[in-house]
Amino acid sequence: MSFVGKVWKVLVGIKDALVLMFMLLFFVALFGILSARPSPGQVRDGALLIELSGVVVEEKSAIDPIAALLSGSAPIEEYRARDLVRALDAAASDDRIKAVVFDLTTFLGGGQVHLTEIGEAMDRVRKAKKPVLTYALGYADDHLLLAAHASEVWLDPQGLAVISGPGGSNLYYAGLLEKLGVNARIYRAGEFKSAVEPYSRSSMSDEARANVGGVYSALWEEWQANVKKARPKLALARVTSDPVGWIDSAGGDLAKAALSAGLVDKLGDRVAFGARVAEIAGKDTWSKKPGSFAASDLGAFLAAVGDKRKGKAIGVVTIAGDIVDGEAGPGVAGGTRIANILDEALDDDLAALVVRVDSPGGSVTASEEIRRAIQRHRDRKIPVAVSFANIAASGGYWVSMSSDRIFAQPETITGSIGVFAVMPTFEQSAARLGVTADGVRTTPLSGQPDFIAGFSPEMDAILQASIGGNYRNFINLVSASRKMPVDKVDAIAGGRVWDGGTARQLGLVDEFGGLQDALAWAAAKAGAKESEWHPVFLGDKAENYDSLIRQLVTSNAARAPLTQGGDIFALTARRNGDLAARLTRDAQRLLGTSGIQAYCLECPESVSAPSRRERTSREHQSTLFNLLAWMAAP
């Protein structure tokens, strides 16, 4: 009995230790969650400090806590454009806020429409007689689009400011696929649907070059007009036409060159910048750290501002990122997920619906699923408006066809009305390896599709017919929605992309305006007077664990190499990550099973964190590279 008693005591001790450990973990997690949430009580007199240590997006991506913890690195931080605009507008009238400070040291970019809207909000803060200051180690195009609207633009003496303008190179794989014996079977409708050109050509077609070049020229003109209006003394022509001569004139000192051209106003390190802010907003009584100043952070200030909840409810559904089948998202537009959100809102007392689109498109079936869900709201006889952000092309335009009015900005990219699909077959590469296929067929479609023996002519014809049918459906939807003859729609479709200004002239959009303009229009159509309505963002969920997860997996030492390099070599090195992501996407489009796509590959790459498709396609990338290495081996 004594032995059994001892064993029992050991077991009881283990049990008690486990209970205590789990209780400790529970309370630590609870404390972390509560402390990670921004508190309105943290707002104090001083500056509103906005540290943009990531990207500006329309909708934040969902964080997988298990994947984040296992990876040991936090996802790129994301900031909703509408949150930044709301904070700036509130700061303009808040007596506690003496100035607004943007720390752009680790800012990674945003869409041109979003950054323009934030810049306009910065102007409203300045009109309220409150200074806006920015600081960074390096300024690129997106940084400068924001900083141009600041009262003072500070640059670290070791930093730089450069302007590159939109554009760049695409990768073309026709030569590689030919060497590997891979037959990229392309099915498309629309001669301008250049999304498939990387697999069929070794260079950009003249049609695609003319079309995309026109869009990029329009974006560049809008960027220059915006920056010149905000900073009239900026020597923009000098910086962009002869960058080498401009830098040489400053003795090779990139920071002094930026100052001489008016890209920045002052050179100084973080301590000097903080001292300047302290002169305006007050000293930090909580910290003696050099460069500190009295400030409230963005999260706490937004929590203090709150949301307006009076009057009629105007629903807002967000369609952001690639449109894919299933429940994906947020940050990726899962067709089933968004359709469910819209259907659940049918029971809500919504006076109107606004559809906010920031997507280059994707799956045709998912796009149609979302469009039908929007139409169900329209069938209730409530006003439905669509607001385009940076991109609303291909599938992003398809989902917008059940609406009463479409708003866009001059910088919006839209159109790309066309569909395509790419499927690889390996009959040539298999033959090189001594693999052949043979058998018995009872019909022309027996054993089809056959990825080793190749597709039969009948299979090819059926696949192309499916593409043609979906293209006609797309054209007919646009014709009915925009009240345009089918032949007129076809003349401006064919996969062409358009800037917002041209799209308005062509009748693809109704008027210029942002999300607030669309909301105001929908509210007026619903009979709500000004200040007697409020937006309800459908599907929004509290981010209870976001900050906690980042705290658990992020350290300053780990993050610094990724986001904080300020010299030109560090900025250039980041392109390696962009190249890897591009190769991954291209491999996924060839090897994946995405179905018929209404996707705008011609549109500029999104700056948001990698989509779910990109993350899962890393396995495809690894497989593809291993395959290439094996086949290229002697």
**Cα 269 from Cα 529, distance rounded (Å):** 49
Closest CA to 219 of 415, 503, 410: 410
Q: Residues 6 or more apart from 284 whose CB is under 8 A from it?
A: 46, 278, 292, 293, 294, 295
Given a contact cutoff of 8 angstroms between Cβ atoms, the answer to whether 383 and 354 are in contact is: no
Alpha-carbon distance of 306 to 21, in angstroms, equals 38
Q: How many CB atoms lie within 10 A of CB 32?
A: 16
Cis geometry, peptide bond prior to residue 449 (ω within 30 degrees of 0): yes
User: What does the alpha-carbon distance between residue 240 and residue 243 come to, in Å, rounded to a whole number?
Assistant: 6
Contact 51, 298 (CB under 8 A): yes
Query: Which residues are annotated as catalytic?
Result: 193, 394
Following CA atoms 34, 39, 44, 50 in sequence, which dihedral angle do they give, to the nearest 10 degrees?
Answer: 100
| SS3 state at 604 | coil
Q: Which of 295, 298, 294 minimizes the C-alpha distance to 84?
A: 298
**Residue 343 structure tokens:** 């259907």
DSSP assignment of 387-438 equals EEEEEEETHHHHGGGS-SEEEE-TT-EEE---EEEEEEE-HHHHHHTT----
315/310 Cα distance (integer angstroms): 14
CB contact at 8 A, 237 and 161:
no
Separation CA 442–CA 152 (nearest Å): 77
CA atoms within 13 A on the CB side of 354: 28
At 275, which helix (H) or strand (E)? Answer: helix 270-281
Distance of CA 160 to the CA centre of its chain: 26
Reduced to 3 states (helix: H, G, I; strand: E, B; else coil), residue 192 is: coil
